[in-house]
Amino acid sequence: MPTTSARLLALLSLLQTRRDWSGGVLAERLGISLRTVRRDIDRLRELGYPIAATKGPDGGYRLSAGTELPPLLFDDEQAVALTVALQVAATSTTGGLADAAARALHTIRQVLPARLRHRIEALSVTAVERPTTQLAAPVDGGVLLAISAAAHAHEILRFDYGSDSTDGPARRAEPHHVITWDGRWYLVAWDLDRAGWRTFRADRITLRPPHGPRFTPRPLPGGDVAAYVNSVFRGSGGTSADWPCLGTVILDLPAATVARYTRDGLVEEIDPGRCRLTLGSWSWPSLAATIARYDADITVVGPDALTDAFALLARRFTRTATG
């Protein structure tokens, strides 16, 4: 059994990766008893970590957000993954987060233990963007956060768009989704002044706060954002809508990370750690294999043919692995 300090670090690392954990699953992942899990949860609470308990056969736990939360702890693999991701973001020409990522990378390197600092210094990653006929303009990270927050809170946005004069009245829209398409960030919203659905390029948005009031979301044409955006961009050629097999999944990865490696598809942010991906391919097994390359937990939204394709690949891989 690992030492108490190592066990607490591993437990805290698990609690930070998702919203809810049952006591039984935590015990299985850590190789300890359910009683030890309860004792370790109490120790973390004594250290100041706000861990909420839920009722159930073996209990459940959630790491709550709070202003008094102590500094986050990362295990070695998480620290390496974080620095690699920041290196990619710092050298990317799209997204508008290069400067912020470079500063964050410098800060993290200063506090890394020596054993990890040597590993990180030996690793140099540069993001090479795919050549396009029209380079996507960088997007201010603050704009992305603001419009995403307004979409989650259902608050009306006021903004200038493109070459619109800031002396005139602001555009008013009900934000519904922040998505990426072919390397660009877009806001899907109901335009209140033009009484219709619009897709606004995020790099052309200049916010004019304050936001509000709140609104009740309208149903999107086609039933969901994937159907709507596919219909909007279908005429541009080479979109996912042109493939015979089109599926949607939820990935346990940030939208910005998935968007960096997705051109022919739709990426929609769900929360800071998850996104919805709609992608196409020439066959269902091919589509499942393409989605698996993101190396993250996957939840199939639909259709059932995509779920069946994942099952087919699982059987094939099992036969290959067992010889």
pLDDT of 208 strictly over 70: yes
CA 168/CA 96 separation, integer angstroms: 27
Mean pLDDT, range 218-230, rounded to an integer: 77
| Count of residues making up the chain | 323
pTM beyond 0.75: no
pLDDT confidence of residue 239? 46
**Per-residue confidence (pLDDT) for residue 298, from 0 to 100:** 93
264 has pLDDT over 90: no
Amino acid at 242: D
- Output the pLDDT for position 238: 40
CA distance 276 to 267: 6
Higher per-residue confidence, 230 vs 132: 230
Cα separation of 105 and 115, whole Å? Answer: 17
Whole-number pLDDT of residue 250: 93
Three-class SS state of 258: helix
| Ranges 97-111, 114-128, 199-213, 272-286: which has the least confidence | 114-128
Tens of pLDDT along 84-96?
777 767 666 555 5
Out of 15-24, 54-63, 154-163, 277-286, least confident range = 54-63
Tell me what the mean pLDDT of segment 124-140 comes to.
55
Residue 174, pLDDT above cutoff 50: yes
Give the gyration radius of the chain's Cα atoms.
22
pLDDT band at 136 (very low <50, low <70, confident <90, very high): low
CA angle 131, 136, 140 (to 5 degrees): 140
Q: CB-hemisphere CA count at 13 Å for 1? A: 12
Q: Do 212 and 156 form a contact (C-beta atoms < 8 A)?
A: yes
Of 15-19, 65-69, 175-179, the poorest mean pLDDT is in 65-69
Q: Under a CB-based contact definition with an 8 Å cutoff, are residues 3 and 36 in contact?
A: no
Q: List C-alpha distances in Å: 126 to 83, 99, 315.
A: 12, 14, 36
Categorize the per-residue pLDDT at 159 as very low, low, confident or very high, splitting at 50, 70 and 90.
very high
Average pLDDT, stretch 228-235? 65
Q: Topology of domain 4-63, per CATH? A: Arc Repressor Mutant, subunit A (1.10.10)
Indicate the domain borders of the chain: 4-63, 76-121, 141-218, 231-322
